[in-house]
Amino acid sequence: MGDWAQLAQSVILGLIFSYLLAKLISIVVTFKEDNLSLTRHHDPEPELNLKPEVDSRGRIESSTGEADSVIAEQGSSRGDSVGGDSEEEVEEEEDDDDWEGVESTELDEAFSAATLFVTTAASDRLSQKVPSDVQQQLYGLYKIATEGPCTAPQPSALKITARAKWQAWQKLGAMPPEEAMEKYIEIVTQLYPTWLDGGVKAGSGSKDEAVSNTGGTMGPVFSSLVYEEESQNELKIDAIHEFAREGEVENLLKSIESGIQVNARDSEGRTPLHWAIDRGHLEIAKLLVDKKADVNAKDNEGQTPLHYAVVCDREAIAEFLVKQKANTASKDDDGNSPLDLCESDWPWLRDSAKQTD
Amino acid sequence: MGDENSNPGSLEEKADQVTEVTPFAGDDASLESIVRRFQDSMSVEKTHKFWETQPVGQFKDIGDTSLPEGPIEAATPLSEVKQEPYNLPAAYEWTTCDMKSDEVCSEVYNLLKNNYVEDDENMFRFNYSKEFLSWALRPPGYYQSWHIGVRAKVSKKLVAFISGVPARIRVRDDVVKMAEINFLCVHKKLRSKRLAPVMIKEVTRRVHLENIWQAAYTAGVVLPTPVSTCQYWHRTLNPKKLIDVGFSRLGARMTMSRTIKLYKLPDVPVTPGFRKMEPCDVPAVTRLLRNYLSQFVVATDFDENDVEHWLLPREDVVDSYLVESPETHDVTDFCSFYTLPSTILGNPNYSTLKAAYSYYNVATKTTFLQLMNDALIVAKQKGFDVFNALDVMHNESFLKELKFGPGDGQLHYYLYNYRLRSAVKPSELGLVLL
């Protein structure tokens, strides 16, 4: 009897010892694995559009059961951002069927933001605060969402963590990726209800939007001219010139009615008619001529409104001025007439020049 | 979120917050601090996390002169390079794009035309022509396997693209075989699918398979760590159109008439002997160019085959002119530019912005100013709206005098798996990526 008890005791002790040994080995192994898998599974990305975009909010709110109108709004604003090119829109609408199941939805984007949140700020906290079964659940949902059903072989029983993760993935079976994404976002939102608050604000900087729109990391840059205010320009200009320049009909009329000279000069000797023509306002030009503006007024460089119309290649205005008896042969201080400066083929300009000869 | 976070745009503020948060980390992992760290990290740290795992110059090493220049990681045996492509999300598959095929070339063209780089305000989008793509992707010794597409499995539609082409780039005294990585583009509808990282990894893998371990690329954003940071400059050729389409602005106190006069150019080039480059000029141009480029710290290394490909004129792709001395018939000067139009988005009057981009220029007898002025004149003759140039090589010496204005775009140059002790000035860079 005593022998039997002793035997049983030593067997049990042996079992416990070998279990502990196995556990120790598995801890060592999985510790290494975990470190590897952390970098593997949460593969950081070189993409620059990493901030949750404004779009993400729509989806998050929908997943927490809020207004659908936000989504609609987002949808339309997305459309706008691409919508500059109406041809492209039409073209794309035609083959929208092709995008079935391929197109990235708002859900994709919220999911991206959520995974990003988990992998960045929350990764170390998760391990402290979040029960391991929830962590595994997140892992499983992540794998379903990104890779689909589990096809990987079952890890050895010694790799406890790896096996738990595998099981978390495996047990979700053939769950659709969309559902996995929604659940993932739900869990993250439960754990950190405010995780996206303010993130939207932070993500709406114009630079980031641009990056997300261009979607680019590498590659060329589209640059355009930086506007530089002309510093040495000491132009003095009256309100009436500004109204003519900006095409403000009513203000212009009021000025003239209040007794301002229709041929008032700015410090460069330009009349309101010069300014209207420079900016291409045919209606304003007609109105000014109607109000007895001088069609042959010269600025300080000897240029008439017709010079301006010709230099700025404004055909309708030039033709109008010629009809109003503007002088096509009037020389500016460089000795050039409007005809000399004309690079376009405007037969009526030549004809009228011949007539005046 | 406290008041402290009222200014999320400021970098200093962010730095402060990060240090502020850390002391609390131990006792109270408060939501606020997590959320704040998340938002902070989104902008700066996270973006670079990928690059911190890559063999590129790291920010933390800036100023550390003890690190050797040259490859960061040694080449590994080819047998150790991953043999299978990286996994794509289930709905997609890899495709190798045969750019010799007109059909495939059109697919790549259309993908880029509708989805490639735009300006910050989404007013313009690059519209590289088919002929351009065919030229840019098939230089001497190119690898078709580096022209990588991603298709949707069901529709077979091309939804993403990335490419590399081989190049020899000299860094100080060493000529290194590199891949120039370019044309990374993911369809607008798939931007959140996170395809770009795997595409970068895949092109890297395929470059490694050819036993090439370095690469050069550019980006509009700062990543670890720029070899050089260059600035775009723009010379207006067609002021009225540039103003109408919003590429430039007409100041309220400036007249269109005077602006047009300001940018007026002579009708024909002024330098005697200025003419288009011809095939027989390849040896002379190569000599001129090699000699010129030898003075830069980082520069492309062109032989005659490269010059023949990259610089012989191609209609609507690349233009090259040279000065042949009327007396000695020596080729003394050379200039070139490539054609890169952009789609103008949502303008009722214009649909295309025609831009010339300065490529490689060498002046030995003619002044650089006059040579480049002649380049502007021929660009104007050919109907370009604007002539763009980076401040690389000696370009700075003509930019202001020839009435180039500064652009809002900076272009950062990067090397993959090659460390430089410190960044070089744009004027020490003899490399233009398309």
What's the sign of the alpha-carbon dihedral A110, A116, A118, A122?
A: negative
What's the sign of the alpha-carbon dihedral B404, B389, B381, B385?
A: negative
Least confident of A36-50, B188-202, B304-318, B336-350: A36-50
Q: Distance from first CA to last CA of chain A, Å, rounded?
A: 140
DSSP class per residue in A75-119? HHHHHHHHTT-HHHHHHHHHTGGGGTTTS--HHHHHHHHHHHHHH
- For residue range B405-424, list pLDDT tens digits in order: 999 989 999 999 999 988 99
For residue A156, what are its two tokens? 């050895």
Question: Within an 8 Å CB–CB cutoff, is residue A71 touching chain B?
Answer: no
| A147 to B183: CB separation less than 8 angstroms, yes or no | no
- The letter for the amino acid at A130 is V
Query: How sure is the predictor about A124, in pLDDT bands with cuts at 50, 70 and 90?
Result: low
Chain B residue with Cα closest to A123: B34
CA proximity to B135, closest of B306, B360, B372: B306
Question: Within an 8 Å CB–CB cutoff, is residue A36 touching chain B?
Answer: no
The whole-number pLDDT of residue B327 equals 93
Optimal mutation site among A128, A224, A233, A332, interface B, most CBs of chain B within 10 A? A224
The whole-number pLDDT of residue A30 equals 57
For residue B19, what are its two tokens? 């240090």
- Determine the average pLDDT of the residues in A328-348: 91
Question: Within an 8 Å CB–CB cutoff, is residue A334 touching chain B?
Answer: no
- Residue A316 · residue A346 · CB < 8 Å: no
Strand partners, B231: B410
Query: How sure is the predictor about B280, in pLDDT bands with cuts at 50, 70 and 90?
Result: very high
Size of interface A-B (CB pairs under 8 A): 285
For residue B34, what are its two tokens? 């997590």
| Per-residue CA distances from A318 to A238, A321, B228, B241 (Å) | 25, 5, 50, 19
User: What is the distance of C-alpha A211 from the center of its chain?
Assistant: 6
- Determine the average pLDDT of the residues in A145-156: 81
Rg (C-alpha) for chain A, rounded Å, is 37
Question: What integer best gives the mean pLDDT of chain A?
Answer: 72
Q: Give the Cα separation of A256 and A240 in Å (integer).
A: 8
A221 chain-B contacts, CB cut-off 8 A: 117, 218-220, 232, 409-411
Whether residue B318 is predicted with pLDDT greater than 80 in this model: the reply is: yes
Q: Write b or e for each residue in B227-242: b if 16 or more Cβ atoms lie within 10 A of its Cβ, otherwise e.
A: bbbbbbbbbbbbbbbb
Query: How sure is the predictor about A32, in pLDDT bands with cuts at 50, 70 and 90?
Result: low
CA proximity to B233, closest of B356, B147, B56: B356
The whole-number pLDDT of residue A13 equals 75
Strand partners, B168: B177
Residue B111, number of CB atoms within 10 A of its CB: 22
Q: Give the Cα separation of A2 and B211 in Å (integer).
A: 72
| A215 to B234: CB separation less than 8 angstroms, yes or no | no
Question: Within an 8 Å CB–CB cutoff, is residue A343 touching chain B?
Answer: no
Whether residue B206 is predicted with pLDDT greater than 60 in this model: the reply is: yes
Return the SS3 of B177.
strand
Instruction: Give, as one character, the DSSP assignment of residue B330.
Output: -
Question: What integer best gives the mean pLDDT of chain B?
Answer: 89
B38 chain-A contacts, CB cut-off 8 A: 117, 120-122, 195, 199
For residue A266, what are its two tokens? 């700015």
For chain B, what percent of residues have pLDDT higher than 90? Answer: 79
Question: Within an 8 Å CB–CB cutoff, is residue A194 touching chain B?
Answer: yes
- Determine the average pLDDT of the residues in A295-314: 96
A194 chain-B contacts, CB cut-off 8 A: 1, 31-32, 35
Q: Give the Cα separation of B405 and B399 in Å (integer).
A: 8
A245 chain-B contacts, CB cut-off 8 A: 252
Q: Give the Cα separation of B165 and B216 in Å (integer).
A: 10
- Residue A34 · residue A28 · CB < 8 Å: no
Whether residue A274 is predicted with pLDDT greater than 70 in this model: the reply is: yes
| B188 to A82: CB separation less than 8 angstroms, yes or no | yes
- For residue range A57-85, list pLDDT tens digits in order: 333 333 333 333 333 333 333 333 333 33
| Predicted model pTM | 0.71
Residue B291, number of CB atoms within 10 A of its CB: 11
For residue A55, what are its two tokens? 């779009």
| B159 to A102: CB separation less than 8 angstroms, yes or no | yes
For residue A15, what are its two tokens? 């079992």
Query: How sure is the predictor about B273, in pLDDT bands with cuts at 50, 70 and 90?
Result: very high
- Determine the average pLDDT of the residues in B66-70: 88
Whether residue B371 is predicted with pLDDT greater than 60 in this model: the reply is: yes
- Cis peptide leading into B225, omega within 30 of 0? yes
Q: Name the maximum alpha-carbon separation found in chain B.
A: 84
Least confident of A113-122, A290-299, B13-22: B13-22
Residue position matching structure tokens 């906290």: A125
- Determine the average pLDDT of the residues in A107-119: 74
| A217 to B257: CB separation less than 8 angstroms, yes or no | no
**Better pLDDT: A143 or A253:** A253
Instruction: Quote helix, strand, coil % in chain B, to nearest 5.
Output: 35, 25, 40
Whether residue A157 is predicted with pLDDT greater than 70 in this model: the reply is: yes
Question: Within an 8 Å CB–CB cutoff, is residue A267 touching chain B?
Answer: no
The whole-number pLDDT of residue A126 equals 54
Return the SS3 of B406.
strand
Whether residue A49 is predicted with pLDDT greater than 60 in this model: the reply is: no
Residue A250, number of CB atoms within 10 A of its CB: 8
- Residue A242 · residue A272 · CB < 8 Å: no
The whole-number pLDDT of residue A181 equals 84
| B191 to A112: CB separation less than 8 angstroms, yes or no | no
Q: Which helix (H) or strand (E) holds B315?
A: none
A279 chain-B contacts, CB cut-off 8 A: 256
Chain A residue with Cα closest to B351: A85
- For residue range A10-21, list pLDDT tens digits in order: 777 777 777 777
- Residue B322 · residue B378 · CB < 8 Å: no
| A223 to B407: CB separation less than 8 angstroms, yes or no | yes
Whether residue B16 is predicted with pLDDT greater than 50 in this model: the reply is: no
**Better pLDDT: B194 or B9:** B194
Least confident of A284-298, A319-333, B33-47, B269-283: B33-47
Beta-carbon contacts of residue A49 (< 8 Å; ≥ 6 apart): A208, A211, A212, A215, B191, B192
- Determine the average pLDDT of the residues in B77-99: 94
| A218 to B232: CB separation less than 8 angstroms, yes or no | no
| CA–CA min distance A326, chain B (Å) | 18
- Determine the average pLDDT of the residues in A114-135: 67
| A312 to B260: CB separation less than 8 angstroms, yes or no | yes
Whether residue B25 is predicted with pLDDT greater than 70 in this model: the reply is: no
B219 chain-A contacts, CB cut-off 8 A: 216-219, 221
The whole-number pLDDT of residue B34 equals 54
The whole-number pLDDT of residue A25 equals 72
Residue A348, number of CB atoms within 10 A of its CB: 13
| Per-residue CA distances from A162 to A36, A156, B376 (Å) | 11, 8, 64
Whether residue A56 is predicted with pLDDT greater than 80 in this model: the reply is: no
Q: Give the Cα separation of A294 and A277 in Å (integer).
A: 13
Query: How sure is the predictor about B8, in pLDDT bands with cuts at 50, 70 and 90?
Result: very low
Q: Give the Cα separation of A49 and B118 in Å (integer).
A: 14
**Better pLDDT: B252 or B103:** B103
Q: Give the Cα separation of A296 and A303 in Å (integer).
A: 9
- For residue range B285-310, list pLDDT tens digits in order: 999 999 999 999 999 999 999 999 99
| CA–CA min distance A241, chain B (Å) | 11
Which residues of B belong to the active site?
Answer: 434
Q: Give the Cα separation of A108 and A111 in Å (integer).
A: 5
CA proximity to B300, closest of B156, B175, B132, B155: B175
Query: How sure is the predictor about A354, in pLDDT bands with cuts at 50, 70 and 90?
Result: low
